[in-house]
Amino acid sequence: MSASNIVNPPVGESFPDSQSVSDSSDSSNEEGWEDVEPDEESQPVVGLFTSQVFPDARSMLKECKEKYNFDLLKIQKDLDLDFLDNIKLVNYVRTEVKNGNKNPDVSSKSKFEDEVYLKPVLEDDALLYSLDDLTEEQVEHAVPATETNRQVLELQENLERLQTQFSEYRLAVQKSMDDQLSKEDDKLAESNPLPSAKAVDRLQDAEDGYFVSYAYNGIHESMLKDTIRTDSYRDFVYENKHVFKDKVVLDVGCGTGILSMFCAKAGAKKVIAVDNSNIIDRAKEIVHDNGLEDVITCIRGKIEEVTLPVEKVDIIISEWMGYGLLFEAMFDSVIYARDRYLAPDGLMAPSHATLRLAPYADPDFIASHISFWNNVYGFKMDSMLHKIYDEAVVRSNQPTTIVGESQIFLTLPLHTITVEELSFLKEFKVTLNQDIDALDGWAIWFDIFFMPSRESVLPENAIPSDMQKKGIVSFTTGPDGTETHWQQTVLLIDHAKDHGKQGSQALKKGQLITGKIGYEKTEKGSRGVDISVQWESDANEKGVQLWSLV
């Protein structure tokens, strides 16, 4: 789902009846799958320079060009903006106009490069979803607001009025809940000192940005096109229809709703799909377009805050894994859902995960990523190496870079593991299987297993390829498997010691390296992870280092 080398960015109402879910025994349409996108249709858009609501983005941008001499599409072209730049541009302009400046400076991309402009100024801003689909010709020939368009706007105003009334109702309910919980909050406040207001704001901004990132198509396209990931979920559900038949299923972090639809097609009686980003609106449309609204209920919100329409569920399905497995801290929410909603005999899908560590050596990557800065067109740029070893690197590696047998350092049985166990310090022992000039770092990846029963026991040192031969759906994110969007997490060792003297040394095949690896949240409330490794070889190669996965 997200990491140090990408922008961070790693959820109920039903539509009217249209068609009931197909009989689970009907297999005519069960070969293959695809994510179904809703038909393109115009959405009302709020003006950039006024509060007027336009029937679509085209007519709004046309007025911006004619009345305010602001040609957004030309600016995109002149500044060579990508998708995220476009998002920042729109939010920058809205921010400036909101502050009274109707002539924002857009002469350079640097004017709106701050990450703060990834956060929408307007909730559910339809313009943000239309930027990639517009052309100058479409805007030039946009139809002015006609009587029909004005009727559309009236309907939109009515909808906004109803949304306001619903929001007021939610606030009233929330106030009631807050009153009931206030005594517990006071107790917690006495036993736990509060973080500073600045720290709370910073963490909240990061939390908001996390959910905003999952509102965009790109991240969902990446996950859906990861066939190792999506095929595994599909295969487990379809190969175990007897497990899902007439069951109530909870999909935590449903995204586009693909897992929910697998479950509905497999015969689930009811599926509750929860997500806290705007993607839930697309999920509702997709569910409706596939005639599954009688089975699937989509709910927006954090699983810790929403109220489900059932007391207990039979199955919890979720694709919660982040880079290095635990980045994003989404598994904390899945554990909450399990403890709050899963029936005593309920099933978690997937059911197990394992984390692996292996010694890593890749002279070519070190040369391109580290040594490169020693001589750039004849100039020393060593200062660019500042903190380059502090962050974990997420990348796909060749099997040849793994210079020893990997070892499982943590097994996660999803039915029983606790949040507290996700912070740990575990011992490891690995043996080199080849000679190397230097130990460049450590590679981390995870394996996922779908056991069909909560009583199923995962064998010690389980390997997905072996489990697949036994009919157990599983997959690896390691370098020996087909590449996934998670890739591997690489921890590069900083060998510079004693004022620049290189402390690395050659190691021989068969040499043993022992040590400890630890995971810890970057800070309380953060979705980042700090990873520590301390190690020592029988050739006196040793060290200790901390990396951040943020």
Of the candidates 328, 405, 420, 483, the residue annotated as catalytic is: 328
The whole-angstrom separation of Cα 313 and Cα 412 is 21
What spatial distance separates the first Cα and last Cα of the chain, rounded to whole Å?
Answer: 12
Q: What are phi and psi of 201, to 5 degrees?
A: -60, -40
Closest CA to 430 of 548, 546, 538: 538
The whole-angstrom separation of Cα 243 and Cα 85 is 46
Whole-number CA gyration radius for the chain = 26
Question: In the numeric block, which tokens belong to residue 396?
Answer: 């796909």
For the question of residue 328 being annotated catalytic, the response is yes
The count of other CB atoms within 10 Å of the CB of residue 405 is 13
Strand (E) or helix (H) holding 530: strand 529-537
Helices (H), strands (E): how many in the chain?
Answer: 14, 19
The whole-angstrom separation of Cα 514 and Cα 523 is 28
The whole-angstrom separation of Cα 40 and Cα 199 is 41
> How many angstroms from the chain centroid is the CA of residue 350?
17
For the question of residue 207 being annotated catalytic, the response is no
Of the candidates 285, 293, 319, 541, the residue annotated as catalytic is: 319
Closest CA to 35 of 217, 256, 292: 256
Beta strands, E only, 216-288: 248-252, 270-275
Question: In the numeric block, which tokens belong to residue 266?
Answer: 């497999």
Q: Computed from CA positions of residues 126, 127, 129, 133, in that sequence, does the dihedral angle turn out positive or negative?
A: positive
By annotation, the residues acting in catalysis are 319, 328
